Every structure is written in structure tokens, then in C-alpha cells.
């Protein structure tokens, strides 16, 4: 538990930042230390963000209690063919399956090997994990067998059946994060990759990850997310591929020192702040749920224009463009996110 004097100072500083539109818009704040239990952290993401959500879950399951994967596949999918180039495997087995479906046996063997060498946390942690999976019926980018492989992977690692929610073949949904009232048509591919399918995806995944959450009455969040500086966490951008800033949503109760939980939401390819501004943090739908459930939402960001040039679409690394440890505790991006958790939580 943080000392009340420390909590009070953090609350004052954060409340001040949130009340200054110019600062929120132009000058990223430093991540505040809040009254957050790190071991109740959960993750979610769409597309490459879904892969990043599960990478954080598997690598750091001592801290990350659950993950929601929207249009994404299993942990380590790009490593699914030993000796092959991960980028090629990603295209041919982990989006479409032109070279075959992900090999469940190889996925499990890889995870067990990484666990044995302590490159990821204990897989026993998954026996109490909560997992949400979503597959759109018209997803033309990440096809059904890939999302099914994620379900099989988590099931094989003993996540209880009641703890897995699999929305399989949602009608009309293309490759996007779906909402109940914002974005393009449900079957549209492109734009901000936020599609109106009359389904509150953010709310549904949060309800599954945190079964005690309350449903908000307000149609919108009370405030806007603010920019926070990622610089102290990301290191050399040419190695980590991450943007100078991300977004942070802090409910009033959390800013004032009440006990809160942390959820990390990862955008997909072509969805970073460089391409679509704050559209994902503002419009995906998480923040109004955060308001009434004391959930702080962290929206880390990838940099489209960062070297290496092997990531021109601004994807999270799930195919080894930052190195072959991209999905392990030592990987540049998982390490950066873990440092963010440590900075903001107890």
C-alpha cells in the first residue's frame, strides 16, 4: 500500500494534469504512481494488438491475470515452424492458413521450453486465468482457424473452460475492433479499424476479465484520455519501434487514491496515434466502463515511422522485427510494458 502522503501528491498532480487541456493535448505527462494492485492487471488488443495482449499474458503471467484477443491468434504463432523465418510463418499460418494451421503440439512444446528456461513465467498461472476471444465471420485478415488455435492453446494449458469466452464467427464482422455505436459499417475493412457492429466489445471483454464489473449508465466517458510519455520505458526507438507517447485514462476515483485495477489496451496495425490520432483510446469504448469500475486504462503506442523499416504498418511485434525474443520477458516491447506496469502500480 502506498503512503497516503504519496497517494495524495500523485492525485493532486494527476488531477491538475487532467484539468489542463493544453497539457493533455500537447505535453505528455509522466505516468503517475496510483493505488493499483499490479497482479490484477489484464490486457486486450485487436489484430497485432491481440498478439501483444497474449504475449504479455504468457510472458508475465505472474502479474497479468487475463487477456482478451480480438482477431488474433495464439502466443508464439510466428515461431510455429522451427527454423523458418517468423515473418513468413506469420503471413502463411497466423493470418491466413495457406501453409497450414498453427501446430498446437509445437505451440505447447515451445511454451513449455520457454517456461523451463525461465524466459516466461510459470504456465501454472494460467489455471486461474481468464481469456476472451473474438472472431468475426467476415474477417478477411485473420481467419477462423487462427483464432480457434488460440482457444485450443489456452485450453491445452489448463485455463478452465468456464474462464474462456469464445465469440466465434460474429455475424458480419470484418477485421476490426467492434463497438456498439461508433465507426464504419460492421463489414468494412480499413479506415480506423473501429467498426459499428452494435456490440459493446470493450464492455463485454471487461465483464469477462473482471466478472464483478458494473454496467455504466452514461453513454460516454466523463473525460478524455491524456498523453503520457513512453520515453523512459522504450529505450532506442530503432530497436523497440515504440512512439514517444501513449495514452492514459484515469477515472476520478483512481486519481483521488482509491484502490483500482489496470487494463492495458493494445491498438492494431494502422491504428497507432501517428495514423489515427486518439481515435482508439477515445472511441473503442473502454473508458466509460473504467469510470464506474475503478479501472485505469493504459493505451501504449507503436511508432509507424520508427526504424526498423520492417514494420511499415505500425504493428506490435508478433513476428520478430525487434528480435527473436519478441514474445519473451526479455523482448523490447514486453519489457517496456512491464516497466509501465511497475511505474503506475504497487
Residues noted as catalytic: 47, 139, 175
- Rounded Cα gap, residues 91 and 87, in angstroms: 6
Three cell numbers, residue 18: 487532467
What lies within 8 Å, CB to CB, of 343 at 6+ separation is: 31, 33, 232, 233
What lies within 8 Å, CB to CB, of 158 at 6+ separation is: 126, 127
Q: Cα 49 to the chain's mean position, in Å? A: 5
- Rounded Cα gap, residues 232 and 234, in angstroms: 6
The residue length of the chain stands at 346
Closest CA to 274 of 235, 309, 234, 315: 315
Any idea what DSSP says for residue 260?
A: B
Any idea what DSSP says for residue 15?
A: H
Write out the DSSP string of 277-319. TTHHHHHSSHHHHHHHHTEEEEE--B-TTPSPTT-TT---SSS
Helix, strand or coil, per DSSP, at residue 243: coil
Neighbouring C-beta atoms of residue 320, cutoff 10 Å: 19
- Rounded Cα gap, residues 114 and 123, in angstroms: 10
Strand partners, 170: 136
Q: Cα 25 to the chain's mean position, in Å? A: 23
**b/e 179-203 (16+ beta carbons within 10 angstroms → b):** bbeebbebbbeeebbbbbbebbbbb
Any idea what DSSP says for residue 119?
A: S
Amino acid at each position: 500500500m502506498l503512503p497516503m502522503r504519496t497517494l495524495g501528491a500523485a492525485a493532486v498532480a494527476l488531477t491538475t494534469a487532467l484539468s489542463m487541456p493544453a497539457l493533455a493535448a500537447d505535453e505528455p505527462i509522466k505516468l503517475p504512481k496510483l493505488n493499483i494492485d499490479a497482479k490484477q492487471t489484464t490486457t486486450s488488443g485487436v489484430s497485432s494488438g491481440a498478439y501483444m495482449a497474449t504475449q504479455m499474458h504468457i510472458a508475465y503471467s505472474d502479474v497479468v491475470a487475463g487477456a482478451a484477443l480480438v482477431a488474433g491468434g495464439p502466443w508464439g504463432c510466428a515461431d510455429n515452424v522451427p527454423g523458418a523465418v517468423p515473418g513468413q510463418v506469420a503471413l502463411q499460418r497466423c493470418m491466413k492458413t495457406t501453409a497450414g494451421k498453427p501446430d498446437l503440439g509445437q505451440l505447447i512444446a515451445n511454451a513449455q521450453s520457454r517456461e523451463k528456461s525461465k524466459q516466461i513465467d510459470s504456465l501454472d498461472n494460467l489455471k486461474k486465468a481468464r481469456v476472451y476471444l473474438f472472431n468475426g465471420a467476415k474477417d478477411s485478415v485473420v481467419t477462423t482457424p487462427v483464432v480457434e488455435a488460440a482457444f485450443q492453446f489456452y485450453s491445452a494449458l489448463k485455463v478452465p473452460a468456464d474462464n474462456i469466452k469464445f465469440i466465434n464467427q460474429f455475424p458480419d464482422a470484418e477485421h476490426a475492433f467492434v463497438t456498439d455505436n461508433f465507426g464504419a459499417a460492421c463489414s468494412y475493412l480499413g479506415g480506423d479499424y473501429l467498426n459499428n457492429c452494435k456490440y459493446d466489445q470493450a464492455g463485454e471483454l471487461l465483464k469477462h476479465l473482471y466478472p464483478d464489473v458494473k454496467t455504466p449508465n452514461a453513454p460516454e466517458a466523463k473525460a478524455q484520455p491524456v498523453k503520457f510519455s513512453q520515453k523512459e520505458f522504450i529505450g532506442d526507438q530503432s530497436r523497440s519501434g515504440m512512439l514517444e507517447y501513449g495514452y492514459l485514462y484515469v477515472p476520478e476515483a483512481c486519481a483521488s487514491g482509491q484502490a483500482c485495477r489496470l487494463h492495458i489496451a493494445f491498438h492494431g496495425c494502422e491504428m497507432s496515434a501517428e495514423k489515427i490520432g486518439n481515435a482508439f483510446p477515445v472511441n473503442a469504448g473502454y473508458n466509460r466502463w473504467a469510470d464506474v469500475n475503478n479501472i485505469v486504462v493504459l493505451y501504449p503506442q507503436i511508432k509507424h515511422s520508427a526504424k526498423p523499416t520492417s514494420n511499415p504498418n505500425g504493428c506490435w511485434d508478433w513476428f520478430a522485427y525487434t528480435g527473436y525474443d519478441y514474445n519473451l520477458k526479455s523482448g523490447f516491447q514486453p519489457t517496456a510494458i512491464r516497466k509501465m506496469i511497475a511505474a503506475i502500480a504497487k
